[in-house]
Every structure is written in structure tokens, then in C-alpha cells.
Amino acid sequence: MASELVNVNEFQELARRALPKMYFDYYNGGAEDEHTLRENTEAFRRITFRPRVLLDVSRIDMSTTILGYPTSAPIMIAPTGLHKFAHPEGEVATARAAAACNTIMAMSFAADCTLEEVASSCNAIRFFQIYVCKRRDVTAVLVQRAERNGFKAIMLTVDTPRLGRREADIKNKMIAPQPKNLEVLLSTEAVSDTGSKFAAFAAETLDPSLCWKDIDWLRSVTSLPILVKGVLTAEDAIKAMEVGVAGIVVSNHGARQLDYSPATITVLEEVVRAVGGKIPVLIDGGVRRGTDIFKALALGAQAVMIGRPVLYGLAAKGENGVRRVIEMLKDELELTMALSGCPTVKDITRSHVRTEYDRFNCRL
């Protein structure tokens, strides 16, 4: 019998064995040299703790709210495309796992299941991630379908005017499955004999002229709150607040877009300071441990989102695999809170961690 799985990193190897190379590479890969991909996880390792002792940690409460919606822990499922590469049930299985864990799922624009299928499969709280298409009417219809089907927020991804250069996908001549929700709305025939057909599909479909002023347009077609995903600087955080978004996701798209963009955990504090508590700030990228989640909360995030580990869990063991991934992260966070002297998420403060920046300042 295989030995027991003890952490979410172990799902990566199981997924590698379970999946055809093209699918695994699509999930696993980052842009170009994959510098940022390595940094997303490495930067967490450079942050250490300042744990406090002799505080009553006999009961740990990880619950919190995101945009007012209660969740069992500050952990969300990040929007990732093409879940049927991992498992025949695709996003329906992921959504059921989210419901079972009392976790919020962000469903991708590039999902393999329809909004309607996911909505009717479970009662998880769901957000819908969108790209703005050259055909704005298509995006408007998607947003309205999400709203009709009980999705609670729109997460607008703003770091993808074009798809990043993912060299594994280029070598594999990655196929371009038609995102299920675009069927009937758009005929997408990515014409490309070389390279990643998925990148060709994105170039053909997504609108690279999207600007800050277009958030007004998006607001005019939905009454749902809008989060922007892909902010990495204080300047853009301030702009996002000026145009009235409901929340910000600090993200470099799992290092799949601009290589040498900073590891997200290294810029979280800059964004949090600029936002000044006015709207929630979420973060994703490289979160693999409960300790990572604690560090993100200490630096001011309301919650974290998990990308690849969810896909690896889905590939390895379907819905149960996703559940295991979320449960493992929850268990680790609970223990980290106990060992740091923080019985609730509100007790986690900036003084519980020591960053590279703190160490540098001490030496001055």
C-alpha cells in the first residue's frame, strides 16, 4: 500500500503520474525561465515567525468572511482553467469539494463545465472569474449568466492582455479546448500550426485594449461586486480603489504571465498599506503550507487562494483529492495558529512574522 500522504506537495507527483504530459505541463508550468514560479514558493520560506506563548489556544477558530460571505477558513479555490484535463467531472467535482469544506470557489472563465452545471451541483459559495473578450457582448452575457446562477462576485483578471510564454505548452503544441461557457456565444477556431494553440486562442479572443475606465462598463452590466485579480503594486491598488472595486487579489497568475514579476508575498504589504483597510486584499501564488497562509494573513491578507494543489488533488483523487488538499491546509493552519498563540484569525498580526525587509532594516 502506498504510504499516507502528509502534505499538499505530495499531490504534485501523483498528478504527474496520473496525467498525460501535455496536461500536466499545462498545469505545472510557468512563464519563460520560471524564475517567478520558483520565487513564489521560495519567498514564503524566507519569512520566519515571532510566535507568542502562554496564551489559551485550547480552541482555534479559523472562520472568517470574504466580501461578507462566511467561510470555514481564509482559504479559497483560485480560478484555474480546464479541470477536465484532471478529472472527467471537471469543475463540478471541484465545486462539490469546496462545498464540503465550506470554502469559496472562484470558477474560471476557461472552465470545462458550464456555469449552470456548477451552480446546480452544489451549494458552495462561488465567484466567477472573467476575462474581457474583444466581443464585449460575450463577456456581458457571461457575467449576467453568473449572476442569474447565484455566483456572488465577479473576479476580473487584469494581468492577461495576452497569454504569457509558457515554453512547455509551446513544445507540446498545447491544444485549445473551447471553454465550455463560450460555446454558442463565440466560435473560436485558433488557427496556429505551431506553438501553443491555447495562446493563439487567447490572442484571438481576449481584449488587450482593456483599461481602467472599462471597469465602469463592467459595473454597468452587473450588480455583483467586482474584484480585480493581478495587482502587484501600490499604484495599481490605488487606481483599483478609485474605480470602485470591491476587493483586490495580489497575484502574478501563478507565475504564468510575466516572468521576473515579484513573488506575490513580497509585495502584499505594499498593496495592503496602499489600500489602508478600505477593501479586502486577497493573495495567491505559491501557497503550499498552513504556515504560508498564516504569513499572508500576518501581512494583511483577508484570505489566500490555492491554484495548482487543487488541480493536483483533482487529478490524483477527484473530488476527494480536492477535499484532502483543502483539509490538509486547514489542519496545518490550525496548528500554526496554536503554536503562534493565535486562537482566531483576528489575533494574527504583523508582529507575528519577520520578513526579509524587517531583517534588512534591523541591520541598518
Ligand X SMILES: CCCCC(=O)C(=O)O
**Binding track, positions 29-68, relative to ligand FMN; x by CB under 6 A:** -----------x----------------------------
Residue 67 or 110 with smaller CB distance to ligand FMN: 110
Does residue number 27 form part of the binding site for ligand FMN (CB under 6 A)? Answer: yes
**Which residues in 135-154 contact ligand FMN (CB under 6 A)?**
none
Please, what is the minimum distance in Å from the beta carbon of residue 200 to ligand X? Answer: 10
**Binding track, positions 83-122, relative to ligand FMN; x by CB under 6 A:** -------------------------xxx------------
CA atoms of 315 and 59, how far apart (whole Å): 34
Q: Which does 202 bind (CB under 5 to 8 A by kind): ligand FMN, ligand X, none?
A: ligand X
Does residue number 256 form part of the binding site for ligand X (CB under 6 A)? Answer: yes
Residue given cell 481602467 in the structure block:
212
Residue 108 or 266 with smaller CB distance to ligand X: 108
Residue ranges of alpha helices (H) inside the chain are: 10-18, 21-28, 35-45, 91-101, 115-121, 136-148, 167-171, 197-205, 214-221, 234-242, 264-275, 290-298, 308-340, 356-363
**Sign of the alpha-carbon torsion through 269, 36, 109, 207:** positive
CA atoms of 325 and 330, how far apart (whole Å): 9
CA atoms of 98 and 323, how far apart (whole Å): 7
Does residue number 157 form part of the binding site for ligand FMN (CB under 6 A)? Answer: yes
Does residue number 172 form part of the binding site for ligand FMN (CB under 6 A)? Answer: no
Active site residues: 253
**Sign of the alpha-carbon torsion through 199, 141, 246, 75:** negative
Query: Cβ distance 322 to 303 under 8 Å?
Result: no
Please, what is the minimum distance in Å from the beta carbon of residue 160 to ligand X? Answer: 6
**Which residues in 256-285 contact ligand FMN (CB under 6 A)?**
256, 284-285
Please, what is the minimum distance in Å from the beta carbon of residue 280 to ligand FMN? Answer: 16
Can you point out the beta strands (E) in 218-263?
226-231, 247-250
Q: Which parts of this chain interact with ligand X (CB under 6 A)?
A: 81, 110, 160, 202, 253, 256
